[in-house]
Structure 1
């Protein structure tokens, strides 16, 4: 098991979650149960999967959950780009999220490589 509070990638994912929820709160009301809901689920899934993996017993299990977090990050990226293309969020907000998401993706990938050394 890993100490969740010591994982920088988890902290960054939590901060991204707050940012995304703030941006999504400005989406049109008719998107409350559509794209906004999808975006919220995706961003929450990133931090949640990191947390679940940290609580597992082996590095191999953690690696798997980091993969799930990575998948959710790409899902979120796609949804943010769709929202920007539809002018539901402004390009500047999308860019800020994109840049932070890219950093988190790199951190997840780096963490996976580190963990993989322990079970290969």
Structure 2
């Protein structure tokens, strides 16, 4: 039996929602950017909930913490890619500001959960 059901974790549900929103943003990009930065954005976004889910299946909290750390790294990667895309004017400032805020909140949530299970 799993100690953590990833589907019930707020960090997982929030990161799945964030992935969906990143996907919708990248659909607004012109075709020339769809296979470059948009692919990177989406892969980083999807990596966040994927690592949370994979880590939840591990037998120890230490192993789970390792996957949460990877997930947190992906969140910072996503933040960086959003900043770059914003600076390249690939979509509206409002779209990016909304997503950047959600990423920052998720980073704090993951850090907090990581701290809790590491105690």
TM-score normalized with structure 2 length:
0.95
Question: Cα RMSD between the aligned structures?
Answer: 0.7
Name the residue aligned to 2:31.
Answer: 29
Q: Distance in 1 between matches of 2:40 and 2:7?
A: 27
- Displacement of 1:4 in angstroms is 1.3
Q: 4+ runs of 1 displaced by more than 6 Å?
A: none
Name the residue aligned to 1:86.
Answer: 88
- Displacement of 1:5 in angstroms is 1.7
TM-score normalized with structure 1 length:
0.95
Q: Distance in 2 between matches of 1:17 and 1:5?
A: 15
Please, which runs of 5 or more residues in structure 2 have no aligned partner?
none
Name the residue aligned to 1:95.
Answer: 97
